[in-house]
Amino acid sequence: MQDFDFNTTRSLSVMKGGARRLGERVRALGFRSVLIVTDPGLLAGGLLDGAIASLKACDVAYHIYADVVADPPETVILDACAAASSCKADCVIGFGGGSSLDVAKLAALLVCGKEALHQVYGVNQAKGPRLPLILVPTTAGTGSEVTPISIVTTGPGEKKGVVSPLLLPDVALLDAELTFGLPPHVTAATGIDAMVHAIEAYTSRHLKNPMSDCLARDALRLLAGSIHMACCDGTNEKAREDMLLGACLAGIAFANAPVAAVHALAYPVGARFHVPHGLSNALVLGPVVRFNLEAAQTQYAQLCEVILPEITGTEKQKAGALSTYLSELTSELKLPTRLRDLGIRSGDIPQLASDAMKQTRLLVNNPRDVTEADAAALYEEAL
């Protein structure tokens, strides 16, 4: 066995109704003034009501920053930092989807004033310190509550990542009740995003290890086994719990065995055309898996055995069956299936391919090398 390191969130709490007891957790940790980072939809929809009531009951002062947007730009990060400073927060709570959690991570880091945002882009550039951090996901997709990564939109067509163990929170709270209100198309897109995390972690060229493999396999088993039911009946408790735990396990897996070409091609689609991240992944997943088939045949066959145990035959046939399953999943879940469905045209592909090649942090992990011509061909296939 090769040497490997493995890191994850310090404390993981899986608790039905846990958000309604958030104040107890915060008070027990000794915090008295918290900044909650979320988005306007969650706030207006009342998803924070239970958590806020709990904070009030425990006499914890709170301030809400609710201006997070999808694919958050640098201005949102800086505004959240200013909010944390203004309320003299001694803890930051990220409450929402991946964008809110990513903003909360960076607000907790940067509010201390020792580093500027432009200094921490890249791998292990952040030195800290940071404020204590609690993350509460409301979608079963990004796994951001257990990853040392925050993604920021830095310009047209470009996203940069901050990657540092400092971004792993002190507490991740998984409360499946918070996901009951997710509409089917969000459930589907975020669920496929989580499945991509598991698949790319399992086939990652670098840092793949026995622990990440175990997590990726079990994550994919939970996600594939529940995604149809969760989309069909959003209040099915077991399906929602399985999706949330599966997304978390996939997050831990790819936090240690990084994702690759699916994400590298998805980022420009999201940044330039404002396509939600999960849907961007779903749209390029089939072409990338087919592109990787020969290089990742053994791993794909093993994953096929996890989610399609009825499939028999050779390793090649099993890998092909997984590819077919993933290619058909987007349509089965009633998501858009082509880039052109979202207004992307053939003339956009050269720019998208050029943008994708900037994602060197991700492309290096792909089981097969990807050139700019390859990226263009993959976008054409997804068009």
CA–CA gap between residue 149 and residue 126 (Å, rounded): 11
| 206 pLDDT higher than 90 | no
pLDDT in tens, 72-93: 999 999 999 999 999 999 999 9
CA distance 158 to 209: 30
pLDDT exceeds 80 at position 157: no
Mean pLDDT throughout 290-296?
97
Q: What is the pLDDT of residues 1-26, one digit of tens each?
A: 788 889 899 999 999 999 999 999 99
| pLDDT over 80 at 28, yes or no | yes
Which CATH class name applies to 184-382?
Answer: mainly alpha
| Domain extents in the chain | 11-179, 184-382
Average pLDDT over residues 306-327: 96
CA distance 134 to 60: 14
Give this prediction's pTM: 0.94
Q: What is the mean pLDDT of residues 254-275?
A: 94
CATH hierarchy code of domain 11-179 = 3.40.50.1970
Whether the predicted pLDDT of 202 surpasses 80 = yes
Average pLDDT, integer, range 41-49: 94
Average pLDDT for 319-342: 96
Predicted confidence band of residue 320 (pLDDT cuts 50, 70, 90): very high
Percent of the chain with pLDDT over 70: 100
- Residues 367-376 have pLDDT tens digits of 999 999 999 9
Contact 62, 52 (CB under 8 A): yes
